[in-house]
């Protein structure tokens, strides 16, 4: 993007969503310049792809969509733009798909600073390049002040799944090992911290990162990984409950080996939150056949997105549909699905 | 993590566990029924479930989860009053997070917020005071609740507001006192409790003296207990020693925090701002004499009950709800007729299902008794 943007220092007005000259200027100056790719620059109403290229890469399309409404827009370790790309890339990647194309729908609040928008678009472009995906079509709407909170983004994504990959939440089997790719709860804790209400001494970085390459590395070692999901809202506990229910198996975790940063633990201790339910934006949970588990783990640890990978538990026959946690203190407890949002305890 | 992991050490836990089982083995032949030990405080309930402590205990010890969760004993009428205040467009209503889900007769604060009331979650009453300074045109009301543990921080916030001359800040005071609440449990005619784990953080404020009547007048031993899992095991072992030796006294396990005389500065602030109410209603327990505190007339300017004419209605709990019997230890949570059926954490009928510290929610969330339900 050129350093001198005509719209620098200006704010979003309703005219930027009205379809006329102002909107065209916003699209050209911010989005076309920012995302910089020929598919978008053609400014047709739709992006068009060559099917033969896609077919060469696999036998199924993966399609997903997600909306991003994070507050604050910028937080330690990321921003809404980075999140909007990684979140959708990761949703594609969890099927084993190679992510290819994203869309970008923006809902902007009247009065939003265009400089901030440029920062967000730049961040989306940097992240998309890292993840090897192109943002090929988009839409912008502007709403009255107060009708939205600054900037909401929706991204949809398309990827291609190689023919031999068949992962699903229904496929966990007794004896399988559970692996996570590092410290859990960082994103959720970073967002609470970034809201500034707690004034903690140390800042916590979001783990926001694309995981498609890590997934491909894992699948090279073991193409028959049974289940894979990224542990976003609801955290690791929620994903494991989904696996346990879909596969009708029990899952047993060992609290003592689950990787949680001291800063995150500390915040959870203060607020009465459970890090197992905190959101992640760069963490996956894999259910791996036991004979391949050590090899998958070793390969993950050699990948930058998996250096701190750990085996945290295993699949057992009972209790069907439930997740148990060995507390490491001598007892065990059920790790249930979250009811509503986690609310800080009074005392 | 320092100052946390030391109190969760599994090897030390095994030593304490064996010591507890040892005492139990020696005494079991003498027992006609299992000992019932009440942990009064919701914080203890939370720890017991989080670490699976009940599974570590011998069969002759039954834990009874008491009424010491201030969110759980909040009566529906008071929640309705909260909603009325919060729905006033001039008000920013501030509250601790876990009070938001407590059902009123019509709706919870969470539902009122969804319908447009300006309700904000805060982490301390001082956050509410900061909001008042930031929004001088609005009245900021803080939903003050809790036992003596949280009273000092609300009292000090009122004193701070007075010093700074802030006029748009008030409390909706629902603080309650520990001793009268325990006494109400002890006066239950069907009571079978043998001893108490008493709330460490309340004792940190009020000291040991207010607990003496339990040992002296009701002949029940008790241990002032900390909140880490090793604290609970050690306190249980101390309590068993008393039971084994037929002693009844107030013993302090939580010596790293609790001093016999309590905290003089905290008590001074409490007494300066609050006075005992003649009676106050607790959900599941009914009206208890002297169990609540209200604001002294000198601080009427900071009293939301004076500023907003709340109805102060008494609304009876749903008939099928057996929260009271659970709180008093007369039945187990899953023996309640609606547990896990019409009353779940998603749709709580009774207060004990609302907060993660409530006995019913704790049992339900941790899987106990659910298959039986």
A329 → closest Cβ in B8, B99, B110? B8
CA–CA distance from B65 to each of B47, B179, B271, B340 (Å)?
Answer: 12, 16, 30, 18
The reply to whether residue A327 touches residue B1, judged by beta carbons under 8 angstroms, is no
- More confident call, A2 vs B179: B179
Q: Which domain holds residue A139?
A: 14-161
pLDDT of residue A97: 96
Indicate whether A277 belongs to any domain. yes
What percent of chain B clears pLDDT 70, i.e. is strictly above it?
98
The reply to whether residue A327 touches residue B121, judged by beta carbons under 8 angstroms, is no
Indicate whether A217 belongs to any domain. yes
The reply to whether residue B123 touches residue A271, judged by beta carbons under 8 angstroms, is yes
The region of weakest confidence among A159-173, B23-37, B279-293, B307-321 is B307-321
- Domain boundary residue among A122, A140, A161? A161
> Is the pLDDT score of A17 beyond 90?
no
Contacts of A95 (CB under 8 A, 6+ apart): A62, A159, A161, A165, A167, A228
Indicate whether A4 belongs to any domain. no
The Cα of B78 is separated from the nearest Cα of chain A by a number of Å equal to 17
pLDDT of residue B69: 83
The reply to whether residue B356 touches residue A340, judged by beta carbons under 8 angstroms, is no
> Is the pLDDT score of A9 beyond 60?
yes
Indicate whether A347 belongs to any domain. no
Shared-domain flag, residues A177 and A142: no
- Between β-strands A151-161 and A60-68, what pairing exists: parallel, antiparallel or unpaired? antiparallel
pTM of the entire predicted model: 0.88
Contacts of B142 in chain A (CB under 8 A): none
Residue B262 zone, left/alpha/beta (φ > 0; ψ -120 to 50; rest): left
DSSP symbol at A113: B
Q: Is A167 helix (H, G, I), strand (E, B) or coil?
A: coil
pLDDT of residue A3: 52
pLDDT tens for A128-175 read: 999 999 999 999 999 999 999 999 999 999 999 999 999 999 999 999
DSSP symbol at A29: I
∠ CA A96-A134-A117, nearest 5°, is 120
The reply to whether residue A322 touches residue B14, judged by beta carbons under 8 angstroms, is no
The reply to whether residue A329 touches residue B10, judged by beta carbons under 8 angstroms, is yes
Shared-domain flag, residues A139 and A206: no
Q: How confident is the model at residue B370 (pLDDT cuts 50, 70, 90)?
A: low
Q: Does the beta carbon of B3 lie under 8 angstroms from any beta carbon of chain A?
A: no
Contacts of B54 in chain A (CB under 8 A): 331
Indicate whether A1 belongs to any domain. no
- More confident call, A336 vs B226: B226
- Domain boundary residue among A113, A140, A161? A161
Shared-domain flag, residues A220 and A182: yes
DSSP symbol at A146: T
Structure tokens at B305: 């009950």
Burial of A28 by CB count in 10 Å (0-12 exposed, 13-18 middle, 19+ buried)? middle
The reply to whether residue A331 touches residue B355, judged by beta carbons under 8 angstroms, is no
> Is the pLDDT score of B125 beyond 60?
yes
pLDDT tens for A46-88 read: 888 889 989 999 999 999 999 999 989 999 999 999 999 999 9
Which residue of chain A has the CA closest to B12?
A329
Shared-domain flag, residues A283 and A215: yes
The reply to whether residue A345 touches residue B46, judged by beta carbons under 8 angstroms, is yes
Shared-domain flag, residues A94 and A198: no
ipTM for the complex shown: 0.84
> Is the pLDDT score of B234 beyond 90?
yes
> Is the pLDDT score of B371 beyond 60?
no
Q: Does the beta carbon of B346 lie under 8 angstroms from any beta carbon of chain A?
A: yes
pLDDT of residue A345: 65
Indicate whether A341 belongs to any domain. no
Shared-domain flag, residues A184 and A285: yes
Which residue of chain B has the CA closest to A269?
B4
> Is the pLDDT score of A218 beyond 50?
yes
Shared-domain flag, residues A296 and A247: yes
> Is the pLDDT score of B134 beyond 60?
yes
Shared-domain flag, residues A155 and A182: no
The region of weakest confidence among A109-113, B153-157, B307-311 is B307-311
Indicate whether A3 belongs to any domain. no
CATH code, domain carrying A309: 3.90.650.10
pLDDT of residue A1: 45
Query: If you average pLDDT over residues A313-322, what whole number do you get?
Result: 94
Contacts of A331 in chain B (CB under 8 A): 51-56
Indicate whether A7 belongs to any domain. no
CATH code, domain carrying A136: 3.30.1330.10
- More confident call, B74 vs B109: B109
pLDDT of residue B369: 55
> Is the pLDDT score of B95 beyond 90?
yes
Contacts of B355 (CB under 8 A, 6+ apart): A345, B42, B69, B71, B72, B98, B101, B102, B361
Query: If you average pLDDT over residues A234-244, what whole number do you get?
Result: 96
Domains of chain B: 5-68+179-252 (3.40.50.11750), 76-177+261-307 (3.40.50.11740), 323-365 (no CATH)
Shared-domain flag, residues A179 and A222: yes
Q: What is the mean pLDDT of chain B?
A: 91
Contacts of B346 in chain A (CB under 8 A): 339-340
Q: Quote the radius of gyration of chain B (alpha carbons, Å).
A: 21
Please tell me the total count of domains within chain A: 2
Shared-domain flag, residues A27 and A97: yes
Shared-domain flag, residues A138 and A39: yes
> Is the pLDDT score of B232 beyond 50?
yes
Residue A150 zone, left/alpha/beta (φ > 0; ψ -120 to 50; rest): left
End-to-end CA distance of chain A, in Å? 50
Q: How confident is the model at residue B346 (pLDDT cuts 50, 70, 90)?
A: confident
Residue with tokens 């009876």: B316
pLDDT tens for B182-219 read: 999 899 888 889 999 999 999 999 999 999 999 999 99
pLDDT tens for B78-87 read: 999 999 999 9
> Is the pLDDT score of B316 beyond 90?
no
Shared-domain flag, residues A155 and A174: no
- Domain boundary residue among A144, A161, A178? A161
């Amino acid at each position: 993007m050129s350093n001198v943007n005509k719209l620098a220092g200006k704010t979003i007005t309703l005219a930027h969503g009205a379809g006329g000259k102002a909107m065209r200027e916003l699209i050209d100056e911010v989005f076309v310049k920012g995302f910089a790719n020929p598919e978008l620059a053609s400014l047709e109403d739709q992006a068009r792809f060559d099917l033969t290229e896609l077919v060469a890469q696999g036998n199924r399309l993966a399609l997903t969509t997600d909306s991003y409404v994070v507050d604050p827009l910028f937080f330690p370790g990321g921003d809404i733009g980075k999140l909007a790309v990684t979140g959708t890339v990761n949703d594609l990647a969890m099927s084993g798909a190679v992510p290819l194309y994203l869309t970008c729908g923006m809902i902007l609040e009247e009065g939003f600073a265009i400089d901030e928008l440029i920062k967000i678009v730049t961040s989306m472009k940097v992240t998309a390049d890292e993840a090897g995906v192109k943002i090929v079509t988009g839409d912008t709407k502007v709403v009255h002040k107060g009708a939205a909170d600054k900037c909401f983004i929706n991204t949809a994504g398309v990827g291609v799944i190689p023919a031999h990959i068949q992962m699903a939440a229904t496929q966990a089997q007794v004896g399988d090992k559970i692996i996570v790719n590092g410290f859990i709860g960082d994103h959720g804790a970073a967002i609470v911290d970034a809201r500034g209400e707690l004034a903690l001494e140390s800042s916590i970085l979001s783990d926001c990162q694309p995981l498609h390459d890590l997934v491909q590395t894992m699948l090279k070692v073991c193409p028959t990984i049974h289940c894979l999901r990224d542990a976003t809202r609801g955290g690791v506990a929620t994903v494991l409950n989904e696996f346990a229910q879909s596969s009708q198996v029990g899952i047993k975790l060992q609290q003592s080996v689950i990787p949680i940063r001291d800063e995150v633990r500390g915040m959870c201790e203060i607020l009465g939150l459970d890090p197992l339910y905190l959101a992640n934006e760069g963490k996956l949970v894999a259910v791996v056949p036991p004979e391949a588990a050590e090899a998958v783990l070793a390969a993950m640890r050699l990948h930058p997105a998996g250096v701190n990978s750990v085996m945290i538990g295993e699949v057992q026959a009972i209790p069907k549909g439930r997740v148990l946690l060995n507390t490491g203190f001598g007892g065990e407890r059920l790790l249930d699905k979250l009811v509503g949002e986690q609310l800080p305890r009074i005392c | 993590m320092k100052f946390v992991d030391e109190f969760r050490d599994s090897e030390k836990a095994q030593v304490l566990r064996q010591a507890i089982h040892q005492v139990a083995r020696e005494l079991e032949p003498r027992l006609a029924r299992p000992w019932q030990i009440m942990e009064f405080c919701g914080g203890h309930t939370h720890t017991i479930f989080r670490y699976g402590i009940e599974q570590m205990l011998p069969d002759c010890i039954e834990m009874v989860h008491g009424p010491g969760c201030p969110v759980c004993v909040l009566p529906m009428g008071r929640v309705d009053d909260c909603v009325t205040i919060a729905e006033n467009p001039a008000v920013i209503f501030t509250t601790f997070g876990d009070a938001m889900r407590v059902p009123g007769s019509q709706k919870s604060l969470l539902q009122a917020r969804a319908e447009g009331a300006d309700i904000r979650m805060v982490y301390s009453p001082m956050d509410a005071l900061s909001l008042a300074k930031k929004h001088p045109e609005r009245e900021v009301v803080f939903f003050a609740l809790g036992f003596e543990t949280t009273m000092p921080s609300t009292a000090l916030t009122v004193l701070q507001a007075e010093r700074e001359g802030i006029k748009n800040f008030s409390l909706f005071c629902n603080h309650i006192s520990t001793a009268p609440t325990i006494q109400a449990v002890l006066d239950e005619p069907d009571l079978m409790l043998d001893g108490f784990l008493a709330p460490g953080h309340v004792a940190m404020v009020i000291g040991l003296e207010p607990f003496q009547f339990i040992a002296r007048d009701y002949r029940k031993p008790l241990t002032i207990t900390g909140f880490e899992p090793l604290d609970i095991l050690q306190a249980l072992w101390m309590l068993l020693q008393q039971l084994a030796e037929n002693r009844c006294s107030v013993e302090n396990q939580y010596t790293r925090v609790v001093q016999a005389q309590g905290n003089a500065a905290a008590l001074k602030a409490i007494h300066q701002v609050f006075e005992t109410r003649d009676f106050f209603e607790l959900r599941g327990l009914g009206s208890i004499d002297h169990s609540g505190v209200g604001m002294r007339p000198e601080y009427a300017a900071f009293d939301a009950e004076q500023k907003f004419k709340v109805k102060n209605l008494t609304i009876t709990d749903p008939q099928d709800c057996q929260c009271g019997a659970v709180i008093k230890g007369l039945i187990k949570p899953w023996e309640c007729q609606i547990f896990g059926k019409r009353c779940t954490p998603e749709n709580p009928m009774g207060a004990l299902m609302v907060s993660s510290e409530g006995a019913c929610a704790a049992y339900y969330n941790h899987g106990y008794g659910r298959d039986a339900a």
